[in-house]
A = this chain, B = another copy of it.
Amino acid sequence: MVRYVGVDNMIRLVETLGVEPFLVGLADYIEADFRRWTAFEKVSRIASHSRDGVIELMPASDGALYTFKYVNGHPKNIRSGLQTVTAFGVLSDVATGYPTLLSEMTITTALRTAATSALAARYLARPDAASMAIIGLGAQSEFQALAFKALLGIRDLRVFDIDPAATAKFRGNLAGYGFSIASAASAEEAVLGADIITTVTADKLNATILTDNMVGAGVHINAVGGDCPGKTELHPDILLRADVFVEFPEQTRIEGEIQQMAPDFPVTELWRVITGEAPGRHAPEQITLFDSVGFATEDFSALRYVSDRVAGTDFFDEIDLVAEPDDPRDLFGLIARHPGTAPMMSAAGAR
- Report yes or no: A342 in contact with B43, Cβ–Cβ below 8 A: no
- Report yes or no: B66 in contact with A19, Cβ–Cβ below 8 A: no
Q: Which of A80, A95, A138 has the most CB of B within 10 A?
A: A95
A283 within 8 A of B: no
Interface residues of A in 204-251 (CB under 8 A from B): none
Q: Which residue of B lies closest to A202 (CB)?
A: B329
- Report yes or no: A332 in contact with B173, Cβ–Cβ below 8 A: yes
A18 within 8 A of B: yes
CB-defined contacts of A346 to chain B, threshold 8 Å: 15, 18-21, 146, 177
CB-defined contacts of A178 to chain B, threshold 8 Å: 347
Please tell me how many copies of the chain the complex holds: 2
CB-defined contacts of A146 to chain B, threshold 8 Å: 346
A310 within 8 A of B: no
Produce 1/0 per residue, A82-99, CB < 8 A to B: 111010101010111111
Choose from B46, B88, B320, B329 the contact partner of A6 (Cβ within 8 Å).
B320
CB-defined contacts of A334 to chain B, threshold 8 Å: 7, 11, 107
- Report yes or no: B48 in contact with A72, Cβ–Cβ below 8 A: no
Choose from B52, B68, B333, B343 the contact partner of A177 (Cβ within 8 Å).
B343
Interface residues of A in 34-64 (CB under 8 A from B): 41, 43, 46, 48, 50, 52-55, 57, 59, 61, 63
Choose from B104, B173, B335, B348 the contact partner of A330 (Cβ within 8 Å).
B173
A59-B61 contact in complex given A78-B329, A110-B331, A176-B344, C-beta closer than 8 Å: no
A294 within 8 A of B: no
- Report yes or no: A21 in contact with B74, Cβ–Cβ below 8 A: no
CB-defined contacts of A80 to chain B, threshold 8 Å: 96
Task: Please give the distance in Å from A172's CB to the nearest CB on chain B.
Answer: 8
Q: CA of A44 to CA of B82 in the docked complex: distance in angstroms?
A: 31
A276 within 8 A of B: no
A256 within 8 A of B: no
- Report yes or no: A99 in contact with B81, Cβ–Cβ below 8 A: no
Interface residues of A in 108-151 (CB under 8 A from B): 110, 137-143, 146
A266 within 8 A of B: no
CB-defined contacts of A138 to chain B, threshold 8 Å: 329
CB-defined contacts of A99 to chain B, threshold 8 Å: 70, 86, 88
A343-B6 contact in complex given A70-B68, A70-B90, A334-B107, C-beta closer than 8 Å: no
22 interchain pairs (CB within 8 A)? A15-B346, A19-B346, A21-B346, A21-B349, A21-B350, A21-B351, A46-B46, A50-B94, A55-B97, A57-B59, A72-B96, A74-B95, A78-B328, A80-B96, A83-B322, A83-B323, A86-B322, A104-B322, A107-B323, A139-B331, A176-B347, A177-B344
